[in-house]
Every structure is written in C-alpha cells, then in structure tokens.
C-alpha cells in the first residue's frame, strides 16, 4: 500500500475528493471524518485504487487478492482493471459490481446493488462507460459495452441495455427515456425522483 501511495500521489488526492463527495451528497454524513471512519463504499473505493495500481503495474495476482478481500469484507466487487475517476460516492455500497472493462468518470454517484456488467463470455471491451455526473439508482443494472451519457440519471431497479444520451432520465425493464434530470449533474443533487422535464 505504501509503495502504491508513494508512487502515485493521485491515490491520496482521489481519496480526499471522494471524502468531500460523500460529505456534500449524503445527509447522513455529519463531518469529513465520517466516510473515512465508517462508510464501506468509501473504504471499498480506496482499496480498489490500490488494487488498480497493482494491476497496472503487472501485479495481477495481488490485485485480485485485494479485489477478493474487498468483496468478502465489504460486499463490493470492483475489478482492479476497471477505470474509475474521482469524486465518487458509493452510497450504502452493498452489492455493487463493476466489471473489468468498465469506465466510471468523475463525480458519479452509485447506490447499492448496482451492476456494471458485461455480456457473453468473450474477452475484450464489454462493460459500460459511465460519464461525468451520472446518478445510478439503487439496484439498476447496466449491461454491455454501452455508454451512459454525462449528467444522465438511471432509475432504481432499471435494466439498461442500450446507450443512454446525456442529460436524460431512463427507467424500466428494459430502460427507456422517461424524462430529464432536474439538474445538469444529478449525481451531485442525489434527487432520485422522475420528472418529465426541467
């Protein structure tokens, strides 16, 4: 862990930004120490950052060990090869799954039981790309090499099988456009209601 943090100061910088994201978005977070001490979504994300460093430095076995321990201990399964930005909040976090080729950009909020999964058994780029400011509602499943555009919102329990344009709200099984978020970056406001427009 020390080796990774000394080699990549971005790991600590990302952790600081993630703490602030939790504090600003979660009304249960009373101070900046709360995520650091008690929020398993924050813990899982920081452990992933170490695992990702190991993965990108060719230490795949140790990276997968970290992934396994995160999954067993925290109930969050993030493949160490996934690419994840800063300012994320994994709210409650239990049951979150992020596949190997998934990309999650900055300032995204993900609620519990979300899956960013692949399709089929072929290797290659097969997982979703989640763009800046997206809010992924509890229990939603985003499947395949598809893009959820910047500022989009996915309703709780939805199954997303096709690309989602920026700044729309999708919901349902399969998910369809049902409106627009009430703000440009729904991940920041955490408003999970569905409205027909701004």
pLDDT by residue (tens digit) across 120-129? 888 899 999 9
> Mapping DSSP to helix (H, G, I), strand (E, B) and coil, where does residue 26 land?
coil
Q: Using pLDDT thresholds of 50, 70 and 90, give the confidence band for residue 2.
A: confident
User: Are residues 90 and 98 in contact, defined by beta-carbon separation less than 8 angstroms?
Assistant: no
pLDDT by residue (tens digit) across 40-68? 999 999 999 999 999 999 999 999 999 99
* Domain contains 88: yes
Which range of residues forms the domain containing residue 74?
2-189
The tally of domains found in the chain comes to 1
Which positions ≥6 away from 96 have C-beta within 8 Å? 41, 44, 76, 77, 78, 90, 110, 112, 113, 114, 115
**Exposed e or buried b per residue across 34-73, where buried means at least 16 C-beta atoms within 10 angstroms of its C-beta:** bbbeebbbbbbbbbbbbbbbbbeeebeeebbebbeebeee
* Domain contains 194: no
* Domain contains 171: yes
* Domain contains 197: no
Q: Round to whole Å and give the CA distance between 168 and 165.
A: 6
pTM assigned to the model? 0.94
* Domain contains 198: no
**Exposed e or buried b per residue across 117-129, where buried means at least 16 C-beta atoms within 10 angstroms of its C-beta:** bbeeeeeeebbbb
* Domain contains 28: yes
pLDDT by residue (tens digit) across 150-192? 999 999 999 999 999 999 999 999 999 999 999 999 999 999 9
Q: Round to whole Å and give the CA distance between 144 and 78.
A: 16
* Domain contains 29: yes
CATH of the domain at 138: 2.160.10.10
User: Prior bond to 156 cis, omega within 30?
Assistant: no
* Strand 89-91, strand 103-104: pairing: unpaired
* Domain contains 195: no
């Amino acid at each position: 862990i020390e080796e990774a943090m000394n080699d990549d100061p971005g790991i600590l910088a990302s952790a600081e930004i993630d703490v602030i994201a939790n504090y600003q978005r979660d009304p249960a977070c009373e101070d900046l120490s709360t995520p650091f001490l008690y929020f398993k979504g924050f813990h899982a994300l920081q452990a992933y950052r170490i695992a990702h460093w190991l993965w990108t430095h060719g230490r795949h076995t140790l990276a997968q060990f970290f992934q396994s321990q995160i999954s067993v201990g925290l109930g969050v399964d993030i493949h160490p090869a996934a690419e994840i930005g800063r300012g994320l909040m994994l709210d409650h976090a239990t049951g979150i799954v992020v596949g190997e080729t998934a990309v999650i950009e900055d300032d995204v909020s993900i609620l519990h039981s979300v899956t960013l999964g692949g399709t089929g058994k072929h290797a290659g780029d097969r997982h979703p790309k989640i763009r800046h400011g997206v809010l992924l509602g509890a229990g939603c499943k985003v499947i395949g090499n598809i893009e959820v555009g910047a500022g989009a919102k996915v309703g709780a329990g939805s199954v997303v099988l096709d690309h989602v344009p920026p700044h729309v709200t999708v919901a349902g099984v399969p998910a369809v456009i049902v409106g627009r978020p009430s703000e440009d970056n729904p991940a920041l406001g955490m408003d999970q209601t569905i409205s027909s427009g701004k």
